[in-house]
Structure formats: structure tokens, C-alpha cells
Chain A
Amino acid sequence: MKLESYVRPAGLEEALAVLAAPGPKALVFAGGTDLVPMMRKMRMNGTLLNGDSPRVILDLSKLDELCGIRKAGGMLEIGAATTMGVIAADPSVKKLVPVLAAAAASVGSPLVRNRATLGGNLVTASPSADTAPALLAAGAVVRLAGAEGGPRELPLSEFFVAYRKTALQPGEIVTHVLVPLAGRPVAGRFEKVGLRNADAISVVCAACEIELEGSTCRAARIGLGAVAAVPVRALAVEAALLGREITADVAAECARLVHEHISPIDDVRASAQYRGWVAEAVVARMITDTAREAGA
């Protein structure tokens, strides 16, 4: 099976119609930074990683409806085909969701960021997708659309269902990522540990947002990547922080609970043991730094 045709739809409706059409399956394509190397392998064995054999490339990268960033309904609404470069440089993302700006700026290199999209980073559902922990920490929601019925929204934490599997139904795509604006800006941190600065696949990536009342933690959200089959929230750490006055000792104590949520693996980049150590250390440091920023 080979990819035989290339479609650049004029609008979202046409895109969804192509996906819903009977017959050869379409490959949803945007930045291509993950898909093009996979397509090269597909040339040899006829299938993609997930076993699909699509015949049509459906290029969403230039769809106006999916590109750009705006405020709407108390949310910061980011089109799924917005590139990492645009997100990293966007003034409202930098001001209101700095964890996301930092995560987007850590993806690939300037060259990759000019093409890689936010939707693509989430839809590939790689455990090490750098924007995922940032968006988990920011309490983000994804908006999905298909040809049938209206769009639906899902908390990002429910979007990743298993290793490289998402809650997308056949014929559905991610159209937007929404970040609630209430209470923003919130103090936050994003950290990525990789083997080099640019073009690194994360050994561990993590983000947190903390809201303080006086010096007491009123809310905390922590997201982690590359330490489990999917990007995860460190809920036990978050719960342990609530109502506490955050010091370096408290942060270190709570960060130990991170192991309840992670199941790292050995691979070419790092051992499982190292990933565990790094995850705990990074979470402790992020909590301390974020609380200091929130208190200041």
C-alpha cells in the first residue's frame, strides 16, 4: 500500500468530509516532523507504526481555522495547526501560560519549530511530547471535531489513553487546545532534561503551576513526560502540597510521591532508575522555584 494522493482542504468542513469519506484511509498531516520519517519507513513496509495503511495525505497545516491564538469564552484558544515557533513567541502565551511557551520553545530546533504543530505533538501521543506536561499543568482541554455531531471537549488528561493511543474516534481530529484563563497569570515552571539542548527527545520533561494564598499552597498541578506510557499528572504530589507552606524540605518530601505515578523504562537515552531519580529531583526543584516566584 502506498500513499497515492495529497489533499489540501480549503476548510475544516472539507477536511472532516475527506476523513469521513468511505474508501481509502486518509493520513492526517500537519507539520510532518514526526510523520515524514515514518512515511519513509512506510515506503518500505506499507504500514505506519500503528499498522494503518493510509492512501491519502490530508494536509491541515494551512487551514486558517486551525491556525492562530485568541481569547474566547474565558479560554486561551490555540489552533491545533499553530506551530511551536508561533506559540513560543506569542505574547499572550508568554504572559498567561508561560509553561506552554517554555515547552514549545524546547521542542526540536528553530527549524523543527517552524513546522511542528501543537496538535501534532499531542496527537502522536508520544510519552515524551514536551508540550503535554505543560498543558497538563495548565489544566488544558482539547476540542475534537468529526463530520458527525458537534465538536466535543475533553480534559487533556483524558485524551491520552495508552501508549501512543488517544481518545480520538475514527474521523475525528483535534481542532483546538484550550487553556482556562481564570486566575492567570499563574506561577509555573517547565523543565526538560535531554542529552543535548536542541533536537533532544526528553529523558524527563515536567511542568508545574502553583497558586499560593499567602504562603500556603491553594492549588498545584504537575505534569510529567517520558516517565510512563503516557504523559501523566502527579496527583499524589499535588494533593500532598495542598494547604502546606512550601519550603525546600516540603517540596522534597512531596516530590517523593512522584513514584506513585511513574513507570519509567530503560531505553537508548536513559535507564529507568535514572529517569526516576531525575523526575523526583526535577519535581522538587520546580515546586520550590515556582512557590518562590508565586510568593514574590
Chain B
Amino acid sequence: MLTSCTNAIILTVNGDEHMLVVEPNELLINVLRNELGLTGSKYGCGTGQCGACTVLIDGEPALACVTLAVACDGKEIVTIEGIARPDGGLHPIQEEFLGENAVQCGFCTPGMILMAGDLLKRNPHPTEPEIRHHIKGNICRCTGYNGIVRAIQHAAARMAEPAAADGPDLVKEAR
């Protein structure tokens, strides 16, 4: 049995502030999915090996299945639900994933897209090996990765264009 000790925390998720009471051993992924209904982030291996639960915490990618919710008190979280444009349109990376059929079962997609966004923020012109290196903590069992790599390459090209001010930066979104 768990102890009855609970903690009140404040999480800002995709810009919305939530006051929550959580058990000390509750995982961020379960709070996001079960308490806030944000089921975009997936619960995969539960041991930090598959990347399906990837979210941004204060702008940095993190594995929500090995992160305690209490440890995120006062922090800003961005999930896949939070990266669309203000008008509800898809983020360029999302559009390119669709265009390249980089989505099959979809289980890895939210984590994969957040990692791609993180890469392009750090390195707007990545080489293919750099792309593969950056997403190597995110496992996909459907696509064979080629479509995913192409989608990220196309998104990089699009977002590097000066006119691409329409592509919201993932970190800016987190602020």
C-alpha cells in the first residue's frame, strides 16, 4: 500500500496552470494522461527506454515515465497537444510527418515530434546522421525510421526559410 502522504503542486501545461494533489510516487506521465486527460503523451515501457512519453519540461525534452510529478512543481510542461499553431493548425513538423507517412500506429509520434522540435531549435540544419542521433532514444516499431528522418529534413528546410515565422518554435510555446 501507498502511504496517504500527498502533495499539492502547480504545473503549467501547454500554458494552462493546474493545481493538483498528487501522491509522492506519482509519475508525470500518469498525471498528464489520467488527471489532465492529455493522452497525446504515451505510456510505453515505463522505464525510460522507448521515448513514447517524451515531453518538454522548461523547454528541455524529458521522459515523463521516469519523472515524478512532485519534482515538476512550478515547472512548465509542453506536450504534443501544445505545439499546434495558435489557430489550431498543425506545426510544420507535424505536417511533414503526415506528408512523409512517418506515422503508422502513432504510438511513438508525439515523442518523436517533440524530439525533432528540440533538435531543430538547437541545430536548424542537421545532417541525416545528426537527426538519427538525436531521435535514438525514441523507438518506432512501424516505419523503419526512414520516413521520420525525411520528415524532419523537410521540416528543417521549411522552418529555416525566412517566411517560416509561421512555424512556432517549441520552446517559445513553452514560455
Contacts and interface: CB of A to CB of B under 8 A. Distances in A.
B34 interface: yes
Contacts of B37: 40-41, 43-45
B81 to A, nearest CB: 13
Interface of A is mostly: helix
Contacts of B90: none
Contacts of A44: 35-37
Contacts, number: 10
Interface string A9-40: 00000000000000000000000000000001
Contacts of A43: 34-35, 37
Contacts of B36: 44
Query: B35, B36, B37 — which one has the most chain A CB atoms within 10 A of its CB?
Result: B37
A220 to B, nearest CB: 42
A195 to B, nearest CB: 13
Nearest to A42: B37
B98 to A, nearest CB: 13
Interface in A79-109: none
B100 to A, nearest CB: 20
Interface of A: 40-41, 43-45
10 contacts: A40-B34, A40-B37, A41-B37, A43-B34, A43-B35, A43-B37, A44-B35, A44-B36, A44-B37, A45-B37
Interface of B: 34-37
Given A40-B37, A43-B35, A45-B37, 7 more contacts: A40-B34, A41-B37, A43-B34, A43-B37, A44-B35, A44-B36, A44-B37
